[in-house]
Structure 1
């Protein structure tokens, strides 16, 4: 199939493009980056090269400003616009060019349910949260749902922490632990849902090829791990132990600001829907994933 991939210069996009090509798909990457390993088309804030829409079968929308930068009011708007307005621009071109689009698959976040500790295990039908990250995910998915207006099948992949050797977030977690200075942040009881990058890419590929898949899916393993357990397992696979006391929430918030909720809070996710769709995880436990990437 002819697939348009936005955000192809990112960690997930680069790996997904390789896997899609290996599966025999023709991938067209839409990016603002100019240094890629794949053929690409550049786009601006309000203009896209119309050639990318010729004989197009579907779109995978991964574009979005990274969350790890400082959350000023201006940057919060960029976080939303880079996901929502780009989807709206794509839809405008699809309508104007009368493209017979079969599917629109969008990234989303596990923060849809609210970045908070909860005893609940959230399934896809649960209500959205009421914090900033939940708002981002709600608007993100609403923009994706608009593609039903052109009779495209819409799938949203709600993604937690992605484990990969080259992931910036994983490098930040690993670096102090490697030199024996690893420590848990906050209470340590906050849940830390995760997925290995290989499994995440395979979920996207399944969403492309499985015409039955539709709606939102939690892309996370069945194992529920809290932050303390996560850091202890990471330290073990690096040949260390966690010796330092937990870093208080107050200090983490001073250092990270509002985005500290990415680490200090977290909920458990129910993945029965993606499993019922026939997906099988290659990396089902954190030990398996860490053994592979450490």
Structure 2
């Protein structure tokens, strides 16, 4: 199978590329940097510039499916201009892919796009499935809604559309876990706010396998990419401290302090989404890491 990937050099993208190559698939990837274009065995780079609507249409040659991961990180202070970039980086790239698929001959049968559980409203009590019609009215909810709407247009071209709503990704190569570990290693581990907010997490290995599973089985529709057992923020930070053998007795970090420090981005730490993974499990996808401690031991004890 030949697969085109956007966002191939990001934390998740690199792992997906490695898995695809390991399974003898051919990978085409799009990059905004001509210096990052490589042509190796089964791994070929192509240039694009979404802001200028430029794309090398050769990237589509022989491609069966697209894994769409491109988008500016949300883990950076949300100034007004950066909030625009967060949205545009997702919508512009999707629109350019759609135009290329519409204008150039291709055999693409499926688009599997990243999305996020940030679309679900903040709730300490609800459990969200993919069928939930409630959408968060905060900035992240707006981002994901616009992102998913832009992805849905591929169906006009009779292409199967699959949206993977990603939870808190646990990885030893960066991302949220690396930031959480820093204060805990200094003996400053503590929950955020009440610590009761639910965190729906997923081990990076399971997330990568889930994307591969979605392509391999030509899935359509929305799927939550979270492990079966969500935890509270307090359980998460305490488990990290336990695995690292560090104390966990500091007072909780108050919300107003993080609001001052991070601005609107503090929502990432304080919003609560308890999200179900039943739908993907019903498709016979099996998680390797179902319990938090098992995932943390794998990532932090290497």
**2:127 is equivalent to residue 134 of structure 1:** no
Question: For 1:43, what is the secondary structure of its paired residue?
Answer: strand
Residue equivalent to 1:43: 48
In the alignment, what sits opposite 1:158? 165
Residue equivalent to 1:29: 29
Aligned residues: 292
Cα distance, 1:168 vs structure 2: 3.0
Structure 1 residues without counterparts, runs of 5 or longer:
none
Matches within 5 A, 1:71-110: 71-110=78-117
Aligned to 2:240: 234
What does 1:220-231 align with in structure 2 at a 5 Å threshold? Answer: 220-231=226-237
Give distance in 2, aligned partners of 1:264 and 1:129. Answer: 14
Q: TM-score, normalised by structure 1?
A: 0.96
| Cα displacement (A) at 1:158 | 0.2
Following superposition, the deviation at residue 36 of structure 1 comes to 7.7
Matched ranges for 1:170-185 at <5 A: 170-185=177-192
* 1:1-294 equivalent positions in 2, closer than 5 A: 1-33=1-33, 34-35=35-36, 39-45=44-50, 46-114=53-121, 116-127=122-133, 128-211=135-218, 213-294=219-300
**TM value normalised by structure 2:** 0.94
The question of whether the paired residues in 2 share the 8 Å contact of 1:101 and 1:150 is answered with: no
| Shift in Å, 1:166 | 1.1
**1:187, CA displacement in angstroms?**
1.1
**Cα RMSD for the two superposed structures:** 1.3
- Deviation, 1:130, is 1.5
Does the 8 A contact of 2:31 with 2:37 survive in 1? no
CA distance in 2, matches of 1:39, 1:94: 19
**Is this contact kept in 1: 2:7–2:69, CA < 8 A?**
yes
Q: CA deviation at 1:35?
A: 4.5
Matches of 1:176 and 1:129 in 2, distance apart? Answer: 30
CA deviation map 1:6-62 (0-9, x unaligned): 001100000100001111211111122444886422211211112101112111100
For structure 2, the residue ranges without an aligned partner over 5 or more in a row are: none
